[in-house]
Amino acid sequence: MSTTGNFKLKMNTNPTTGEETKSYDLGARLISIGANSLTNSNDKNYKIVRIEFEHPTKGNIEATAQLFEKSEDYGLTVGEVYLTNMSTDGEKTYFRMSHLVAGAGLADADLFDSIDEVVGTVVSVEA
């Protein structure tokens, strides 16, 4: 079973203003999906969902998130852990849940580099 949390920092650049902001990707457990469909300022339909995740300093957190219609179309399972993005505008924190099942996160480059130490010399290279 996937775990919640596992925060990964993402740096973002606003294409209009050039302002650099940060957000985090994390795994969040889907608790429930709201019945009502809403529309944002970009005319994208979404639903409000309840999520929970393990915060590194605040423990277990329950919050609401947006689930866009295109993600919902893939079919989500209550209780499963999905990739979720967390951002802030300086006043509030926002969550957007995707349809992608969250894993344990990506391994760092050190894992890849350490293969050379174990394998040694490359015997053949496939094109």
61: alpha, beta or left? (left if phi > 0; alpha if psi -120 to 50):
beta
Q: 99-120 pLDDT, tens per residue?
A: 998 875 555 555 555 555 555 5
Q: 57-84 pLDDT, tens per residue?
A: 888 999 999 999 999 999 999 999 999 9
Beta strands in 1-127 (DSSP E): 5-13, 20-33, 38-39, 45-55, 59-68, 81-88, 93-101
Q: Is the dihedral of CA 99, 103, 105, 110 positive or negative?
A: negative
What amino acid occupies position 93?
T
> Model pTM?
0.74
Domains of the chain: 5-119 (2.40.50)
Three-state secondary-structure class, residue 70:
helix
